[in-house]
Amino acid sequence: MHELSIAMSIIDVVAEEAARQQARVDAVHLKVGVLSGVVADALQFSYEMACRDTPLQGSRLVIEEIPIVVFCSRCQVERTLESMQLFCCPECGTPSGDLRHGKELEVVALEIQ
C-alpha cells in the first residue's frame, strides 16, 4: 500500500509548513488525478492512521479527484474522457495522447488556525 508512504510524505511537508507559520492545521486539500495510481479511499484511511500522535492529528484530508483531460488535435480543445480505456476525443473520436490532466497528486491548500 503505497498510499501510506504518500500520506506520511504529505504529513511531513504540511507539519513543516504549519510549524513555520506557527499554526494548527484543520484540513489539507489535495488534488488526485484518476491516473495518479492513488486510491483515494486508501489514502484517506492511511492519512488518518499516519496523523495519530502528530501535530496534524484531528485534521481532515479533503480530496478532489481530477478526471482525465486530453487535448484533441482535430477539435483544438481540451476534452474530458469518459473512460480510462479509450484515449479518444468523446466528440469526434480522434485518438489523443496529449494528456493535460489526470496524473495530479498535489497539496493545493491548507486550512489553518
Alpha carbon distance 5, 12 (integer Å): 11
In three-state secondary structure terms, 35 is coil
pLDDT for the residue 82: 87
In three-state secondary structure terms, 15 is helix
Domains (range + CATH), the chain? 2-112 (3.30.2320.80)
pLDDT for the residue 38: 96
Spatial neighbors of 105 by CB under 8 A, at least 6 apart, are 6, 30, 31, 32, 33, 36, 38
Alpha carbon distance 33, 99 (integer Å): 11
pLDDT tens digits, one per residue of 43-61 = 999 999 999 999 999 999 9
pLDDT tens digits, one per residue of 2-15 = 899 999 999 999 99
* Reported pTM: 0.86
